[in-house]
Structure 1
Amino acid sequence: MNATLGGAPAPLFKRIALQGGYEALTMVRNGEQLILAIVLPLLALVGLTVTPLLDGLGGSRVDVAVPGILALCAMSTGFTGQGIATGFDRRYGVLRFLSTTPLGRTGLIAGKILAVLAVLALQVLVIGSVAAILGWQPNPAGLLPGLLLLVMGGAAFTALGLLVAGTVRPEATLAITNLLWILLGALGGIVIPAERLPGAAQHLVHFLPSGALGEALRDALVHGAVNAPAVLVLLLWTAVAGVAATRWFKWN
């Protein structure tokens, strides 16, 4: 989607904003995307709140559950949602077409990132509202770091989603992103803290973007602390996936 002013291309920022708004609306209007982005995280939140799985982790059930659910939202939107959408845009030639318009490849990527952040903001609003009803009381000192961590997590997972979408077939993208969403959601330290995972998984998940984001958000929103090693892991994943996506992304 592009805008023109008097026959000339609109400013780049406006083009990016329009593209980002279009992609965000497309994501929230898609029933499958909506289930992945909102319904499943809400079900997981309620399930963790009414079961004893998170008891004894330094906070109430809902206080410990919400950071992981927010991290799950970042993965759902940035990795699975954007990965699938980009994969099929690539298959049907949408990416190739848009990359030749005044929006350009850089503007297209920026628009996708903006769309992820917009949907993530909606997820935070919905999840936060329901969590508040359930009694969520985040540590005030961790609210700003928590928001910054969500942005970082969204960037990391978007880079990973674009890497998958730009290098394999759309059908494979669909399978890979959905499978990893299930595996990382259940065993990647994103919803269930590392100490509740079996065996070697307790140590491995700290090096995954899912585990790093989940642990960092729990430290911020429950304890008001900044987990520097987890932040470093997130930054490394973002950098590596971003460079790899830039290097190997196929536009057609």
Structure 2
Amino acid sequence: MTLDLTPRPGAASLSSMVRSQALMELRLLSRNGEQVLLTLVIPLLLLVAGTRAADVVDLGPGRTIDIVTPGVLALAVLSTSFTSLAIATGFERRYGVLKRLGASPLPRWGLLVGKVAAIVLVEVVQLTILALVAQALGWQPTGGVSGYLWLLVLAVLGTAAFGSLGLLIAGTLRAEATLAVANLVYVLLLVGGGLIVPLSRHPEPVAAVLELLPSGALGEGLRRAFETGAPGLLPVVVLGVWALVGTFWTSRTFRWE
């Protein structure tokens, strides 16, 4: 019996390459302590501290945990799909990782799909853990199953909107500038972006602006969905428009090196 040792050159299947890229991105995210802190630890701390938020900030009528939890879920999407993605991609671009991967058999769009797939997996873990902890703290959403279904829809739209904006920053600015801008935007949206504090507690002109931002749309949409079972049309439209505009500009301006 003889063995056939004839070489069989050729690239792996596209699905296999994208899957491998997604798993690599997932391993890189899990090994980075700063990213774990940003994506999971900070939202968890805010969720636990949110039970006392009414003593510091006027959140309006209702149980504090029911008001804070949707905002923390929205913050988790922001931290992973925008801040974490922008910083990681910015430094990959600086050190030439993107340039080398862009020259591999994996198409460039496949590289981006792998990144997005890793982000989605992280968000599934994030949102599951946060929802379970919130329920342990007494969270009782009245929107029923519809609230959780809308969480999936809004999380997808929010990921598309924030992810495209994160890649827009990472693909046009230097890595150090990306780090500064991404963290600054994260803090500004956390404090005054309509995530934790409901829009109804802001002055009317401010609330009108915030509901047109992806942070305000996601936070308010999740609050309405878990309270009434539906987010309303405006948050869905706002997130969809931001996703389309961000994707368009990213495709036009992103530089791989």
Correspondent of 1:70 among 69, 73, 87: 73
Q: Percent identity of the aligned residues? A: 45
Q: How does 1:104-143 map to 2 (within 5 A)?
A: 104-138=107-141, 139-140=143-144, 141-143=146-148
Distance 1:94 1:195, change over 3 A: same
Please, what TM-score do these two structures have when normalized by structure 2?
0.92
Aligned amino acid, residue 18 of structure 2: I
Match of 1:153 in 2: 158
13-22 or 205-214: bigger deviation: 13-22
2:21 corresponds to: 19
**Letter matched to residue 175 of structure 1:** A
Aligned position for 2:90: 87
The alpha-carbon deviation at position 199 of structure 1 amounts to 6.0
Structure 1 length-normalised TM: 0.93
| Match for residue 237 of structure 1 among 217, 233, 242 | 242
Q: Which runs of 4+ in 1 moved over 3 A?
A: 53-57
Give the partner amino acid of 1:219.
R
Q: Distance in 1 between matches of 2:131 and 2:58?
A: 18
**Cα contact 1:41–1:69 (8 A) shared by 2:** yes
2:58 and 2:206 map into 1 onto residues whose CA distance is 17
Corresponding position: 1:189 with 2:194 = yes
Shift of 1:85: 0.3
Larger radius of gyration: 2
Cα 1:115–1:185 change in 2 (3 A) is same
User: How far apart, in 2, do the equivalents of 1:249 and 1:166 lie?
Assistant: 4
Q: Which residue of 2 aligns with 1:39?
A: 41
Deviations 1:154-186 (A, max 9, x none): 111110000000000000000000000000111
- Give the CA deviation at 1:142: 1.3
* 1:3 counterpart residue number: none
Please say if residues 166 and 249 of structure 1, whose CA atoms lie closer than 8 Å, have aligned partners that are also in contact.
Answer: yes
In 1, Cα distance between the equivalents of 2:58 and 2:70? 12
Q: Following the alignment from structure 1 to structure 2, what is the Cα–Cα distance between the partners of residues 175 and 56?
A: 33
Give the structure 2 partner of residue 170 of structure 1.
Answer: 175
Q: Structure 1, residues 21-56: CA drift from partner, whole Å, max 9, x if none? A: 211221122111111101111111112212314654
Q: Which structure 2 segments of 5+ residues have no match?
A: 1-7
CA contact (8 A) 1:189 1:205 kept: yes
Cα offset for 1:79? 0.6
Higher mean alpha-carbon deviation, 236-245 vs 124-133, is at: 124-133
Number of residues of Structure 1 aligned to a counterpart in Structure 2: 247
- Cα deviation, residue 198, structure 1: 4.6
